[in-house]
Amino acid sequence: EGCPVTEIGASAFYGMWKINSITLPETMKIIGDSAFENCKSLNSINLPNSILTIGKSAFKNCNWLASINIPTSMTSIEYSTFYYCENLSSIYIPDNIKRIEERAFINCFGVKSLTIGSGVEYIGFLTFAGVNTEEITIPENVQLVDDSAFKGCVDLRRMVFKNPNITFGKNIFQGLRVENITVIGYENSTAKAYAEEYGYKFELIQ
């Protein structure tokens, strides 16, 4: 009726498997929990920078989603937001994001490029489990990488930690071969201590 759409409610399009493309208006502010969960044919959506919140599991099991842009107006990526979006080839987390909650990108097996913005402070439990990029840089603002954050990232070879005092959860590389992982950080850093504890190779940041 000519009114601007500002919110998509929880589970609004849940399981509508025939939808393959979505265009959202610049007035959009909120996408609710599970709003597009199980839209298994969805391959294209724009996420305007007016969006303040994308809810938990909003795009869970959108297996054919080919690309995403994280709005610059958001400050966190919620629980399981992009769970099992296995057709994504890259993930770019902009600098405005401070928290990436647990399971946010779990089982995004197709991802070969992961960039984490400088504003991120927290990476949650199983956040990037299954992502298959070869090298990841954790910016200096990150204070905590939680348990099993990179579990099963079988192609991962090099991990750079720019915060010398970062806190680690339990076994962040769970399921990976020790000899395949090189931890890169500073002398006398918590990253070096973590590498020594678990038996990973360690190199100094150049």
CA distance 3 to 83: 32
Q: How distant, in Å, are the alpha carbons of 38, 167, 182, 191, 193 from that of 92?
A: 23, 23, 23, 24, 29
What's this model's pTM, rounded to 2 decimal places? 0.95
pLDDT digits (tens, 9 = 90+) for 84-120: 999 999 999 999 999 999 999 999 999 999 999 999 9
| Burial class of 5 by CB neighbour count within 10 A (0 to 12, 13 to 18, 19+) | exposed
pLDDT digits (tens, 9 = 90+) for 158-189: 999 999 999 999 999 999 999 999 999 999 99
Look up tokens 């080919």; give the residue. 66
Q: What is the pLDDT of residue 117?
A: 98
CA distance 19 to 195: 46
